[in-house]
Amino acid sequence: MVQRKEIHDRVLAATSTDELMAFYGEWAELYDHDLIDELGYVAPVMAATVLQQHLTMAEPAILDAGCGTGLVGEVLHREGFTRLDGLDYSTEMLARAEQKKIYGTLLHEDMTGPLDIADDRYDAVISVGTFTCGHVGPTGLYELVRITKPSGLICFTVREQAWQEDDYHRVLTNLQTQKRWQQRELRPAPYIQDEGSTCMIGCFQVLD
């Protein structure tokens, strides 16, 4: 069995989608234990808390974009959010998420390209651990804006290394300049405690 730290490092260093999916397929069974119990992955709780603080509507329809095994969905479900859909590109991760019975629909989609989801579909979208090294780049945010209803919320994390290397600030600013969304919150936060990594957590409201 490949050690959890080695798999995690390989995931971050992946150079193709096929390579990345192979690593996630290998890791799916122990993913929750390794990340939460062993590595101290706190981003799901941090981001879910931020989204909850800004949500004002009753029973919002929420998409967990890049849901993996459902770590974020579990947090939201415990807080009473039951209209949850999940989206991921790893079939093994989606299978683990399905076992938790917290999602209404699970979608097999690649966030590096166009999503097969209607415009203005969701009241809120949350994406944790997806905008990171070797995964989905900042242009993926445009699709999240498209599928979110006007006045809806998009909450996401960006690993600090990816934030610096992939120029996320430019894309966030472009979306504001184009009046596609407005910032509700953007701040640094802990990401994975064992490695001392941090992320940026953003919460933006989609404009009409």
pLDDT band at residue 17 under the 50/70/90 scheme: low
**Residue 7: what pLDDT?**
55
Q: Angle formed by the axes of helices 91-99 and 17-27, to 10°?
A: 40
Please tell me which residue, 28 or 115, carries the higher pLDDT value: 115
Tokens of 134: 């070797």
| pLDDT at 15 exceeding the cut of 90 | no
In the predicted model, what is the mean pLDDT of residues 111-123? 98
How far is the C-alpha of 187 from the C-alpha of 202, rounded, in Å?
7
- pLDDT above 70 as % of the chain: 87
Domain boundaries, the chain: 42-206
pLDDT digits (tens, 9 = 90+) for 27-38: 767 777 788 888
| Most confident by average pLDDT, 113-117, 133-137, 162-166, 190-194 | 113-117
- Report whether 152 contacts 57 (CB < 8 A): no
Q: Provide mean pLDDT across the span 7-32.
A: 64
pLDDT at 114: 97
**pTM of the shown model:** 0.88
- For the chain, the average pLDDT equals 90
180 exposed, middle or buried (CB, 10 Å; 0-12, 13-18, 19+)? middle
**When comparing pLDDT for 12 and 90, which is higher?**
90
Rounded to whole angstroms, the Cα distance separating 118 from 104 reads 17
Q: Tens digits of per-residue pLDDT, 42-88?
A: 999 999 999 999 999 999 999 999 999 999 999 999 999 999 999 99
Residue pair 154/203 in contact (Cβ under 8 Å)? The answer is yes
Of the CATH numbers 3.40.50.1390, 3.40.50.620, 3.90.1150.10, 3.40.50.150, which one belongs to the domain with range 42-206?
3.40.50.150
User: Which is nearest to 43 in space by CA: 195, 204, 208, 205?
Assistant: 195
Residue 157 in this model has a pLDDT that exceeds 80 = yes
* Per-residue confidence (pLDDT) for residue 1, from 0 to 100: 35
User: What is the C-alpha to C-alpha distance for residues 162 and 172, in angstroms, rounded to an integer?
Assistant: 14
